[in-house]
Structure 1
Amino acid sequence: MSVWAVTGYKPYEIGVFKQQDPAVDYIKKAIRQQLLQLVDEGLEWVLISGQLGVECWTAEVVFELQEEQRNIKLAVLTPFLDQEKSWKEENRTYYETIISRADFVAAVSKQPYVNPQQFRNKNQLMLQKSEGLLVLYDEEKEGSPQYLYRMAKQWKEQHSYEIWQIGFYDLQLIVEEEQLNNLDWE
């Protein structure tokens, strides 16, 4: 069974403050391109922890692929119970929609937030349960993805594990390609 974990920035870490931001579409296009390539190579499951931003946008891409009859499933491994409890209502509603459509949902810790070790435990389990990590992360811009990314690099030293990285340059290429496609050449 082919399983890949996906993570990346939270929205505020990359200046996205509303779901309709055009940047979200470009990020989803980048994720879609990578997931389609992985599906062609046998990807069956995408694994996220349900963080807002890249992870939830990835869930949306998986749902789109499912609607296109692609054989791909979504698993959500939250670090602890009720991770959305302190989120704004709009974000909770969005998150609950994703959770309701996921093929598998479980919390790594069977209690609410206690300490940061719960995030490390979640990252460790994501690495153990996947054969690769797709990460939207640019080393020039630190943020929450750095923790799983660094763990994955260490994990890779002793395990057969792939890391595919989408950086800001990759996103810029997608933006430019879209702009070219939308030009009126007449």
Structure 2
Amino acid sequence: MATNLLISGYRSFELGIFKDDDPKIAIIKKCLKEEIKSYIEEGVKWILTTGQFGVEQWAIEVVEELKADYPEVKQGIIFPFLEFGSNWNENNQMKLAQLKKTVDFVDSVSHQPYKDPSQLKNHQVFMLDKTQAALLVYDPENEGKTKWLHKAILKKQDDGNYDCRLIDFDQLQNTTIDE
């Protein structure tokens, strides 16, 4: 049984989403909500992300909504390195700062600013070691930055028991929003 869930997926720009009111976000959030709720009902207690644009930030917002029905659920943002997001534009930095205030835990794997790609690899290993399951908004037929995490998860699944659910483009396409 998974008690810690990692959520990741496409960055907003990979989905062609550049505004907070894009209707695609509502569909993605609806799919996330259904899957996260299912994981919570199966025993997940902690939900972790890295705070990236797109799916990860939308997931944080969804979990905050779900806390009304599941107040016992906790969520954390674990950055790969110190000062993550400091090179983002002011609006995006403010959004990340707001999200950090809503979660139960914030830290970084490396306590130094970005130096080299090894910090990203160490972060990935850490996140997979601390979770038993992952939920990815990802379609292997439409690669993005999430492909590296997906490959690492597939390798972890070969080595042992690790659950991974994908929300792919077919699922997103078949999801409707009730007006």
- Tell me the CA shift for residue 71 of structure 1: 2.2
Aligned residue number for residue 117 of structure 2: 116
SS at match of 2:81: coil
Higher relative contact order (CA 8 A, sep 6+): 2
For residues 20 and 118 of structure 1, the distance between their equivalents in structure 2, rounded to whole angstroms, comes to 33
Structure with higher Rg: it is: 1
**Does 1:133 find its partner at 2:134?**
yes
- Tell me the CA shift for residue 68 of structure 1: 3.2
- Tell me the CA shift for residue 69 of structure 1: 4.1
**Does 1:104 find its partner at 2:96?**
no
> For residues 1-186 of structure 1, what are the structure 2 equivalents within 5 Å?
2-175=3-176, 178=177, 181-182=178-179
SS at match of 2:174: helix
Structure-2 change in CA distance of 1:42 and 1:94 (3 Å): same
Structure with more helix by fraction: 1
SS at match of 1:87: coil
SS at match of 1:67: coil
TM-score, length basis structure 1: 0.92
- Tell me the CA shift for residue 95 of structure 1: 0.5
- Tell me the CA shift for residue 43 of structure 1: 1.0
Q: Please, what is the CA RMSD of the aligned residues?
A: 1.2
- Tell me the CA shift for residue 29 of structure 1: 0.5
For residues 70 and 29 of structure 2, the distance between their equivalents in structure 1, rounded to whole angstroms, comes to 18
- In the TM superposition, structure 1's runs of 4+ consecutive aligned residues that sit over 4 Å from their partners are none
- Quick one: percent identity of the two aligned structures? 33
**1:123-145 alpha-carbon deviations (Å, 9 max, x no partner):** 11110000001001111211111
What residue ranges of structure 1 are gaps of 5+ in the alignment?
A: none
SS at match of 1:174: coil
Counterpart of 1:82 in structure 2: which amino acid? Answer: E
TM-score, length basis structure 2: 0.96
For residues 23 and 116 of structure 2, the distance between their equivalents in structure 1, rounded to whole angstroms, comes to 35
For residues 154 and 80 of structure 2, the distance between their equivalents in structure 1, rounded to whole angstroms, comes to 20
**1:23-61 alpha-carbon deviations (Å, 9 max, x no partner):** 111101000000111111111110101111100100000
What residue ranges of structure 2 are gaps of 5+ in the alignment?
A: none
For residues 78 and 120 of structure 2, the distance between their equivalents in structure 1, rounded to whole angstroms, comes to 11
For residues 135 and 2 of structure 1, the distance between their equivalents in structure 2, rounded to whole angstroms, comes to 17
Counterpart of 1:10 in structure 2: which amino acid? Answer: R
Aligned length: 178
